[in-house]
Amino acid sequence: MAVKFLGQYLLEQGLLSREQLLEALEAQRQCSPMLGELAVEAGMIDARQAQAINDRQRREDKRFGDIAIELGFLDAAQVERLLALQKSRRKLFGEILIERGMIRPEQLEQALAAQKAERASAEDGFRKALAGHPIEREVGLVIDACNKQFLRILKARSQFAAVLPKAEAAAGRISACIEIEAGRPLRIGIAADAATTRRIGCAFMRIAPERCDTELAQDALGELLNVVMGYVVRDALAEDESYTPSPPDFETGLEGLTARSAHALVLAMTSELGDYALAVGR
């Protein structure tokens, strides 16, 4: 059973139309501005400085405000004001649906209870599948890094959905894989269908869809994986351990990655940009 965001769940249950879902997601995005957007809007920093902070976040696991203070762009009091403003504007997805008359409170309550039960079942299955697995730690690090970088770089939420049979790793997907040569080699792959890959590419490069062809989108997928691998390597390898990363490989695919690994898992992931798959192997 796969874990889904509330909007996806309501869509599948026929409680929301796709148009309503898109409208509500856009409303939620407007109610959940990133700290950098608020800082630029308030005139505390300019767009160039915000981009410099975002670029550094791709390399360091630090919050926007902490980096802004380190760079001297903002002081602690300004960051606190921005955080308070961000919190005051935030609305839950369910609140937005009710405010706009898209769903009744009792329908939302029932849907939340059912979604919670599904999530608990899926997470229990995930824990059982991972318990004692030789790459349990690495898989956890990859999921965590992916979810963080989707939010930071792509401005979209991502989460684990299900463990996939290895046979489902390749079907109709564009992929990128990276291998780390170390004492114990580490392999990570990411794959998505063409539409999701293009949305990821547009979000990564911040360009309009008409400017993003398949090749460019695949390159962006590889660059995103580079960022994810950097965070995973930092936490998975010993501080003094030497390693050599490969450039993104667009030919091997998740099926090839799992075949080359003594231990591997394929994971279904869901995001606000579309579903994708991760493969982790050693």
Average pLDDT on 239-266 reads 89
User: Is a pLDDT exceeding 70 seen at residue 282?
Assistant: yes
pTM: 0.81
pLDDT, one tens digit per residue, over 16-68 is 998 999 899 889 888 888 899 999 999 999 999 999 998 888 778 788 999 99
CA distances from 101 to 18, 105, 227, 251 (A): 15, 10, 40, 48
Return the pLDDT at 42: 93
pLDDT bracket for residue 136 (50, 70, 90): very high
pLDDT, one tens digit per residue, over 148-187 is 999 888 988 899 988 888 766 656 689 999 999 887 889 9
pLDDT bracket for residue 240 (50, 70, 90): confident
Average pLDDT on 205-219 reads 93
Q: What percent of the chain has pLDDT over 70?
A: 97
Return the pLDDT at 152: 87
Average pLDDT on 93-117 reads 93
Q: Which residue has the higher pLDDT, 32 or 261?
A: 261
Return the pLDDT at 128: 86
